[in-house]
Amino acid sequence: MLDAQFFTLTSIYFLALLSPGQDFFLIIKHALSHGYQKAWWSCLGIASGNALYIALAYVGHGLLSDNPFIISVIELGGVAFLFYLGCLLFLAPKPHMDVSVNPKNNMAFKLFLQGLLSALLNPKNILFYFSLLFTIIDPKTALPVKIFYAVWMVGMLLVWDMCVALLFGNQKALKLLPYLGWVQKIIGLGLMGFSLHLALAWIISAK
């Protein structure tokens, strides 16, 4: 099982990690404001929020796996959402961030909580995980493999976010921000292309 399915899951998830969303800029802000070590608490909060959404997506995946019609509808919805997400990234304006700081928000728990809420209050997260599970992971995949996928995704997210905090823990890194617009467009094209590939595969399998 840990072959084509795992490679596809990892590739799409890594593309999603590269896209500069609200969590990305929260980490940069905290890294510039408080240093990368304190920003790591935000990374832990973000990873925790995503872990919860992955667990919820797995529950839904398991409950609905015995209904082929609902699975097909959700698969098509997942393909459409990935294409929509790609379009949003491709057409989005150049990203920017507010580096204003509040000196009172420098405690580890508050940074963790901000990261957690940033992940939980972003509705795209739960939609993204449902899209991944229902379009890539076979419902018959063994539970230990699914658990491995979940741990792998959360681990990738945490390591990536911590690296972002480490990179942007100094003011010189702000020179990289103007290039994020191009990164968005490239990732958007990648997600659109992958969603079209999934749609084509679904059509072929339905014949």
The tens digit of pLDDT for each residue in 15-67 reads: 888 876 778 878 887 887 778 888 899 999 999 999 999 998 888 777 766 66
C-alpha count within 13 angstroms, C-beta hemisphere, residue 110: 8
Residue 24 lies in a domain: no
Q: What is the distance between the alpha carbons of residues 6 and 3, in angstroms, rounded to a whole number?
A: 5
Residue 77 lies in a domain: yes
Q: What is the pLDDT of residue 126?
A: 79
Q: What is the pLDDT of residue 29?
A: 77
Residue 19 lies in a domain: no
Please give the residue range of the domain that contains residue 81.
38-96+104-206
Helices (H) and strands (E) in the chain, counts: 8, 0
Residue 43 lies in a domain: yes
Residue 159 has pLDDT above 80, yes or no: yes
Residue 174 lies in a domain: yes
Q: Each residue of 72-121: pLDDT tens digit?
A: 666 677 677 778 767 876 887 765 555 444 444 446 888 898 889 888 88
Residue 144 lies in a domain: yes
For range 181-189, the mean pLDDT: 75
**How many structural domains are present in the chain?**
1
Q: Each residue of 189-201: pLDDT tens digit?
A: 877 887 787 778 7
DSSP readout, 19-35?
S--HHHHHHHHHHHHH-
Beta strands in the chain (DSSP E): none
Q: What is the pLDDT of residue 177?
A: 66
Residue 133 lies in a domain: yes
Higher-confidence position of 97 and 150: 150
Largest CA distance in the chain: 61
DSSP readout, 57-123?
HHHHHHHHTT-HHHHHHHHHHHHHHHHHHHHHHHHPPPP-------TT--SHHHHHHHHHHHHHT-H
Q: Each residue of 116-145: pLDDT tens digit?
A: 988 888 777 878 888 888 788 887 788 899
Residue 25 lies in a domain: no
Q: What is the pLDDT of residue 125?
A: 82
Contacts of 83 (CB under 8 A, 6+ apart): 191, 192, 195, 196, 199
